[in-house]
A and B are shown apart, each in its own frame.
Chain A
Amino acid sequence: MDIDVKKVAMLSRIRLTEEEAAELGPQLSSIIGYVEQLSKIDTDGVAPTAHPHDAAMPLRANVVTNTNRRDELQACAPKTESGLYVVPKVIE
């Protein structure tokens, strides 16, 4: 299976050089090809596995447990202003 490695890189926001794309394309394709063997298995009558653990989801009470830790949490942000994160302009 051929992978459009440039498209995948774009969707993942990973910048690739032409050389890297040329190298990674066949590698990714061969990984997909390996996994594709699974599609040969007859799964008729087998319920799909939603999760490797046969566990049901635990739920959380609708109770506020977090307090305002803005300063601490924003300490790792490259740039903030008046409590807002500042990012390169994004607009439609």
Chain B
Amino acid sequence: MRLWLTPVIWVAFLCALAALLPAMAPLFSWVEGGTDNLIYTRNSFYTLLQSHIWLVLASATMGTLVAVSAGIFVTRPAGCDFMPLVSQMASIGQTVPPVAVLALAVPAMGFGEKPTLFALILYGLLPILRNTLAGLGGINPAVLDSAKGMGMSSVQVLFKVELPLAGRVILAGIRTSVTINIATAAIGSTIGARTLGDPVIAGLVNGNTAYVLQGAILIGLLALATDSLFEALERTWARAFSARAHKA
């Protein structure tokens, strides 16, 4: 349980700050004197935080579903012809900067939440796909053979052997994807998605450093809280596995 203490503290800190920032106007008058607009008020920080998290969560779920099923498909006999192309696409695609994907989604789909979500899913599934391929490909063939020798069907081998063994690597891919997407979603403010990037962009446009700081602090905290959540998740996963391996 001690494992989950750090993420809980980060999340509590993030929520508390989102609630308390509006009361900290005197503090921000320090950086941005000479104006009465010290606190970003167009939306509450909670609303922004919520829709930011929603965007990242939705894209991570969709991306994981698509990437893991694609990864499973190309490692089965039926789809192995597609393996070279898919793995090349995953690595070439990651060369394209996320901000360019975001920008290119606008000519295709217009402004708003939809193109942001689309770009997040598209870009976010690449690291997951890559890690799924690495995880499934890195399993010792002898393990698979002995699973088959025990009389497991290929579906059983997939769900009871391959996915649990590849799980940690896939989880690391999801972590990378979520880290990138928290940053990209913030930039999504420029194409009309409602995220914690809004105060930053508004502050940059109006030359209001207080707005910029409020957005930046919350985005940074969100990223750190999420990262520590994944850290705890990865450790729990690893612990569960080594425990089971010891019992066996």
A binds B: no
What residues make up the interface of B, taking CB atoms closer than 8 Å to A? none
